[in-house]
Structure 1
Amino acid sequence: QNNPRQGTGLLLIQMDGFHYMVILGVCAKVFHRVILAANSDYFRGMFTSGMKESRQPCVDLPFLSASDLEALIRFSYSGTLLLTWDSVFEVTCTALRLQFQSALSLCLNFMQKELQVNSCLDVASFAEAYGMSDLLEEVNDFVLRNFREVSATVKFQDLPAEKLLDFLQCDGLCVPSELTVFRAVISWIEADPEERLVHASSLMSGVRFPLMTFREFREVRAVNLQMECYRDSEVELYGTALKEFGFSLPQSHEICRVRRPKDVLVLVGGDQLNPDMGHRMPSRELWFANSMRSGTGLVKGMEWRRLGEIPDQPKFRHGVAVLDGVLYVINKKTWKRLADMQDLRSNFCLVAHDERLYAIGGDKTINTNVDSVEMYNPDTDSWSFVKPLDQALSGYAATVFNEGIFISGGFDCKYVCLVSMFLYHPERGTTYLADMANDRAQHCMEVAQGRLYVAGGVCNLRRFYMDQQACEVYDPVSDTWTAFASLPVPHVGAASAFLEDRIYILGGYCQEDYSESGLVHRFDPSMQRWENMGKLPGAVTDSHF
């Protein structure tokens, strides 16, 4: 039976007293009842439970936004839901009201997968308001892991004092230094000092002052004394902080747990140094350092814990890389879970680039290095040769930056230390860049603040190798090198890593007297100085992180 609705231009079809089409007043458009009922528990109840709306040709929904409702109805027809941070909260609210369960799942998945520093606190407030415990837990974890970046956003200034204190008191808070926590508290208070200074004492209780150094605490003293001078302020901050910093050392390990960094260092294999190669004892051990200790005053250290063992033969002069969250360990010996390389090689680098692993050059036998490069495909568990290097090379340093593989120094075919720096591409081969000021091999190279930092290794001096303690940094924009602070001790054959804006040089040995150096040194580019971070737990040379 045809039943035209006057003035709408839309034709409703009614059969046996049931309207198969309906006009939703908020949209002023016609839709299929069965489609709406299939996707929404709200409309299913409305159209199938005998409610008067099930017989009305037009249903008015004045409490909803037309654009949000249309997005959900388009999803009902197409299965596609277009979401942005500008719309996701409103669409989620509408999906909750109308019980579009599939669309709601997509909205929540979007919030979890697309979490950003600038949006995470909005998501946390939304999840808390609507009692979404799983989403709230995910967001809080994101805030803890990215606290330094989050604390620099405008939204951070709107956090309630109680919520901020919850974050500060959590052992899972990831910060490179307790000074980061202190600065976050100060920035929050200074957003509205007259109203917020009353919370200063309680928030400062969340700062773990015993983990600071004297240098860091000098900033605390200056800032806290300045805050105490605010008009009509009766808050006493510096004395409390000083008491915790200077007099809580005996209990500091009991009442003041260390923070956790966002990433961890993993020590893989390595060797205890012995002049007799026949008596070398490579290690199968894996260790991880997931906390940095900065004790009262000058004492610093790293807390190491055993992670396990390599499920194969011990490794040294091997290659290590991380691809899609998986740690790969490669050398000339076989590993039962991966295919063998086609060339024997040691004293080489393994880098992850464009979803593949590349084993570059290295020593094939004693006093013989190679120019070959192999590519590993994790999908097929297979190795294949790609464009070789321009010359045989081993003992170099390599890192991936701006989607390119940069290679510095190393030994040539005559085992002379090189000053070269070049960009390697698996198809195009070698593009030479500006030379370093100093020759070096068995060194380290890490990326920080858009530049490549080179440190440690050996250099040529007449017919002998000598320790290379001079350090330099490469600017890829200007293709130039600049010297920076020299290493305080030699680090030959050391490992390196970049963690929370600092460069770590770990272990190695001294070429001059062939003595082990199990020390860990950390370089802060902003401070331009090296710090002694303690010792490694196991093998000290030819290891990787």
Structure 2
Amino acid sequence: MEITRRYFPMEWEERWRKEKERRRKVMEEGGEKFEEEDRKLKYIVAYNSSRMGLKDTEETRRDSKGKQEEDDSETTVEDQVKIYCRHSYPTEILQTLDDLRQSSHLTDLTLSTEDGLHFQAHSLVMAAVSSTIKQMVQNSDEDRESALTIVMGPEVSRSGLAAMLEFAYTGDMPSLSEDSLAQIQTAAQSLGVLRVLELCRKEEEKENKKGAGGGEEKKKKEKIRKIFAAEQMKITLESMKQLWAERVGCDVELEAEGRRFHAHRVILAASSDYFRGMFMSGMRESQQQCVTLLMLGATELDALLQCSYTGNLTLAWDCIFELACTALQFQFHYALSLCLDFLQKEMDTDNCLDVISFAEAYEMGELHELAEDFVLMHFHEVAATPKFQDLSAEKLLDFLQHDGLSVPSELAAFRAAVTWVQADPLERMSQARELMSGVRFPLMTFREFREVRAINLQMECSGGDEVDLYKSALKQFGFGHSDSEIRRRVRRPREALVLVGGDQLHPDVGPRLPSRQLWFVNLLYSGTGMVKDMEWRKLGEMPDHARFRHGVGVLEDKLYVVGGCHFYAKTDTMKSVYRYTPVSDTWERLADMNEHRSNFTVVVRGHILYAIGGDKDISANLDSVEMYCPDTDSWRFVCPLDQALSGHAATVWGGEIFISGGFNCHYQCLVSMFVYHPENGTNYLSDMNHDRAQHCMENFRGLFYVAGGVCNLRKFYTDQLACEIYNPLNDSWNTFTPLPIPHVGAASAILEEKLYILGGYCQEDYSESRLVHRYDPAFQRWENMGRMPGPTSDLRACLLHLPDHLRK
């Protein structure tokens, strides 16, 4: 199978050469087998064309994003190896198995009632819930030529048996009620379904407590039932994995590179369109006990089988491309989605060009777009890597000409082009003039343009070419387009930085004005030299009251706005909660917190929101913490802090909540840093170098950047300009570049891997900071990004995926 490619870095050329050599050896050793394998692949593609192909793969992946795919990747770091988990996999694979059952595909078990009603099922699924069927499958493993048939006794009814099948494939039994309890219990006892017997016992205990309940109560029960069903399907999948490990009911062996792997046909068919076509198309492999796969490596097959039974993949950069290729070729959709997730989330400056090559080779449009955008965003760092020198002139020019190219100044784009040319001057000097057409010389300052002349004098080229190249740059620099909107670089971040609420001084220096407004950053501009700016757009307004000193959290692309103050009196602290859904541009009121809170933090840990500490009113702060469960729309208290705290900052890393600084019960600024656990409480870590409150803390690549706020440097509060970084791996602090101006009570966010500090005020004279500053870790400096659009103090920021119609 030849692949159309536009360019490949050297590493990928070598990999492709080795793959072709391996295929040639296979042809020499068994040409007929190879041709047969190739025939099978083409046959299966034709057989399942409506579901196969890369387009369908990416559509499937996009569709699954609504099922928490954005949160489906948990990583465990050890020597660059990461475990990617698809948490929705138990539900998805069992749904697919149920679809196969409904159409009687690959069913090898018949359950019959005494009155002659037959139910088709898969022995693997039923053995995962029934001890009776598991024992029968174990006993019949020596003879797998015929399907199993079980005739139930007269005590087992149709409805009871149907409930067992429904539980096995869905984890749910909506038919379980006081009227059906006895029939279901009898069927569960006959088949040894212990989990259903436990459900029946709980149902009996609830009989005397049942009430009609209102509409809201029924909705809560329905949500709880869905959560329970998901847990049951997880247990069922784990049981199926155990049966696989014990080789119970395995009905096929796969051979790859001389190694044999046992498996269940139905699991292979449910997780791979390739094997579904093989086992359901009437091909001879559907009857064979052992299937030889000449185009599949043993290591890749082992990983894909593990994923089929668990929904997990162990991934690293030294194996990701081979595994993704194999998952694509053999149509393991779930494994492929995890591979693509890894490529997107673990991409860095050293491998992003490899990802582009891979995406181009296999025509993965979405991945290609993301990888190219990553290069545009990190162009300066990517240009310093060895693989940058392997780019084609055409590709480099595409990057240089792109409006979204993000560089500190246009001089960086020029330097990158020069570096590429000087890597092979004899071959590339002829392309220099064309490359320089992508550099926007009018965006350079006079000081920067002096370097252009100096570098051109050093380039090894003929005198005529040198003069022409310089004159071309000079012409652009001196006679560039006068329209600044056309000349500057314009970048549109994939995620929108959203500002929520806050307050500000009246324009006439009158009373303060709390805000209901939401603003977002739509575009980032790079102008002449280091000049930066942002395009702000109004997203809308919060319902109910204006609010400041509130909390915000983002979960499943929805914005939660919690608590805060709507004015400045003692009774103006709120406990109300609202949720904003960008796709529908709608708000909904949720359950109130138990406490009134302001000047507190909200963090998202897993699928739960936590409201931590804060001020109950203007004179007392809190040590309480409460958690919100979106599935049940309810708040409950968890382990409190070991002291009252407000004005602190918090972030989540590695599943743990880290909290820094803040005011204690005497409203003194703290130096503390600690891990808070909702069940176990507080564990203190190394103190910060500086005390602070009303500050910002953001997690970027496993380092916590702390900036702004106030401190107790003198008798009265004063501005804290010092900034520091915490490393949780070695529990240590280091300083980084101080803020250029005070930012007390500011908002913060990490956008495109840069730290934004937005607004706030100066403690010395209470003047407002209407500026946005951005810290670039690569250059270790703060940049002025322009002015705030509205509210400036005690506001909150977050990142949201906004639909296109809100951004155009």
Q: TM-score range by the shorter chain?
A: 0.7 to 0.9
For 1:475-511, what per-residue CA distance to the aligned partner results, in whole angstroms no more than 9, with x for missing partners?
Answer: 4466565555544433221112233454332212233
Higher strand share: 1
**1:114 pairs with one of 338, 342, 355:** 342
Give the Cα separation in 2 of the matches to 1:180 and 1:129.
Answer: 29
Query: Which is richer in helix?
Result: 2
Q: CA deviation at 1:372?
A: 0.8
Determine the C-alpha separation between the residues in 2 that align with 1:319 and 1:194.
59
Which whole-Å deviations, capped at 9, do the CAs of 1:37-80 have from their partners, x for residues lacking one? 985879999969xxxxxxxxxx999xx647489959x98xx899
Q: Distance in 2 between matches of 1:171 and 1:186?
A: 20
Aligned to 1:226: 455
Residue 523 of structure 2 corresponds to residue 272 of structure 1: no
1:11 aligned residue: none
Q: Percent identity?
A: 53
Q: After TM superposition, give the deviation of residue 187 of structure 1 in Å.
A: 4.2
Change beyond 3 A, Cα 1:70–1:286: closer
Partner of 1:471: 722
Output the CA distance in 2 between the equivalents of 1:212 and 1:365.
53
Range that drifts further, 532-541 or 432-441: 432-441
Counterpart code for 2:623: D
The match for 1:352 among 604, 613, 620 is 604
Per-residue CA deviations over 1:284-325 (Å, capped at 9, x if unaligned) read 222122433342246432221222333443221111233454
Segments of 5+ residues of structure 2 without an aligned counterpart are: 1-251, 261-267, 285-290, 564-573, 579-587, 798-808
Which of 399, 402, 407 is the equivalent residue of 2:651?
399
Q: Residue 371 of structure 1 aligns to a residue in which SS?
A: coil
**CA 230–536 in structure 1, closer or farther in 2 if over 3 Å, else same:** same
Alignment of 1:177-216 (within 5 A): 178=410, 181-211=413-443
Secondary structure at the aligned position of 1:510 is classed as: coil
Aligned residue for 1:457? 710
CA–CA distance in structure 1, aligned partners of residues 778 and 318 of structure 2: 36
More displaced 10-residue stretch of structure 1: 453-462 or 120-129: 120-129
| Preserved CA contact (<8 Å) 1:359 1:373 | yes
Q: 1:371 to 1:259 in 2, by over 3 A?
A: same
Residue among 163, 185, 190 paired with 2:395 = 163
1:351-398 deviation per Cα after TM superposition (whole angstroms, max 9, x unaligned): 223443221111111211111111223333322222212221112223
Q: 1:224 and 1:285, CA in 2 relative to 1: closer, same or farther beyond 3 A?
A: farther
The question of whether the paired residues in 2 share the 8 Å contact of 1:505 and 1:521 is answered with: yes
- In structure 2, C-alpha distance between the alignment counterparts of 1:501 and 1:442, rounded to whole Å: 23
The secondary structure found in structure 2 opposite 1:222 is: helix
8 Å CA contact 1:225, 1:238 repeated in 2: no
1:420 alignment partner in structure 2: 671
Which residue number corresponds to residue 320 of structure 1?
552
1:140 maps to what in 2?
369
Which amino acid in the other structure matches residue 468 of structure 1?
Answer: D
The residue type equivalent to 2:755 in the other structure is I
The answer to whether the 8 Å contact 1:508/1:541 transfers is yes
CA contact (8 A) 1:143 1:150 kept: no
* Cα distance in 1 for residues equivalent to 2:683 and 2:445: 44
Post-superposition CA distance 1:108-141 (Å, at most 9, x none):
64663332456654564455456x3xx1343133
1:508/1:158 Cα in 2 relative to 1: closer, same or farther (>3 Å)?
same
Q: Is the 8 A contact 2:698 2:705 kept in 1?
A: yes
In the alignment, what sits opposite 2:618? 366
Q: How does 1:22-41 map to 2 (within 5 A)?
A: 39=275
Q: 1:225 to 1:123 in 2, by over 3 A?
A: same
In 1, Cα distance between the equivalents of 2:604 and 2:795? Answer: 18
C-alpha displacement of 1:144: 1.4
Q: Distance in 1 between matches of 2:280 and 2:670?
A: 74
- Report deviation, 1:419: 3.0
Deviation larger for 313-322 or 287-296: 287-296
CA contact (8 A) 2:409 2:528 kept: no
AA partner of residue 203 (structure 1): L
Tell me how far apart the structure 2 counterparts of residues 512 and 66 of structure 1 sit (CA, whole Å): 69
Cα distance between partner residues in 2 of 1:60 and 1:445: 55
Please give the per-residue CA displacement for 1:322-344, whole angstroms capped at 9, x wherever unaligned. Answer: 34544322113422343221111
Which residue pairs with 1:304 in the alignment? 536
C-alpha separation in 2, matches of 1:281 and 1:66: 66
Judged with a 3 Å threshold, the aligned counterparts in structure 2 of structure 1 residues 91 and 287 are, in CA distance, closer, same or farther, namely: closer
Counting only pairs closer than 5 Å after superposition, residues 216-255 of structure 1 correspond to structure 2 as 218=448, 221-222=450-451, 225-226=454-455, 228-233=457-462, 234-235=465-466, 237=469, 240-241=472-473, 243-244=475-476, 247-248=479-480, 250-255=482-487
Aligned-partner Cα distance in 2 for 1:212–1:363: 50
Asked if the contact 1:213/1:295 (under 8 Å) is kept, the reply is no
Secondary structure, counterpart of 1:424 in structure 2: strand
Distance 1:517 1:246, change over 3 A: farther
* Cα gap change, 1:212 to 1:441, in 2 (>3 Å): farther
- The equivalent position to 2:763 in structure 1, one of 511, 514, 519, is 511
> Do the aligned partners of residues 387 and 137 (structure 1) sit closer, same or farther apart at CA in structure 2, a change above 3 Å counting?
closer
2:774/2:784 contact within 8 Å kept = yes
- Asked whether the equivalents of residues 708 and 742 of structure 2 are also in contact (C-alpha less than 8 Å), the reply is no
Query: Distance in 2 between the 1:493 and 1:139 partners?
Result: 40
- Output the amino acid matched with 2:492: R
Q: Are the equivalent residues in 2 in contact too, given 1:112–1:139 (CA < 8 A)?
A: no
For residue 748 of structure 2, what is the aligned residue in structure 1? 496
CA spacing shift, 1:392–1:179, aligned 2, 3 Å: farther
Tell me how large the CA RMSD over aligned residues is.
5.0
In structure 2, what is the Cα distance between the partners aligned to 1:28 and 1:314? 66
Contact 2:499 2:520 (8 Å CA) reproduced: yes
- State the 1:538 CA deviation: 0.6
Which residue in the other structure is 2:98 paired with? none
State the 1:271 CA deviation: 0.7
Q: Distance in 1 between matches of 2:663 and 2:474?
A: 52
CA distance in 2, matches of 1:113, 1:145: 15
Cα contact 1:210–1:252 (8 A) shared by 2: no
Contact map agreement 2:505 2:511 (CA 8 A) in 1: no
**What's the counterpart of residue 73 of structure 2?**
none
1:528, CA displacement in angstroms? Answer: 4.8
Displacement after TM superposition at 1:469 (Å)? 3.9
Corresponding residue for residue 569 of structure 2: none
Question: Offset of 1:537 from its aligned partner?
Answer: 0.4
1:261 positional shift: 4.0
Q: 1:442, 1:458 within 8 Å by CA — same for their partners in 2?
A: no
Q: Which amino acid aligns with 2:461?
A: D
Please tell me whether the aligned partners of residues 355 and 371 of structure 2 are also in contact (alpha carbons under 8 angstroms): no
Equivalent residues of 1:420, 1:432 under 8 A apart: no
Aligned residues: 506
C-alpha distance in structure 2 between counterparts of 1:127 and 1:519, whole Å: 40
Give me the whole-angstrom Cα distance separating, in 2, the residues matched to 1:430 and 1:277.
Answer: 43
Residue number in structure 2 paired with 1:281: 513
Counterpart amino acid of residue 748 in structure 2: S
Give the aligned partner of residue 387 of structure 1: 639
Distance 1:139 1:224 in 2: 36
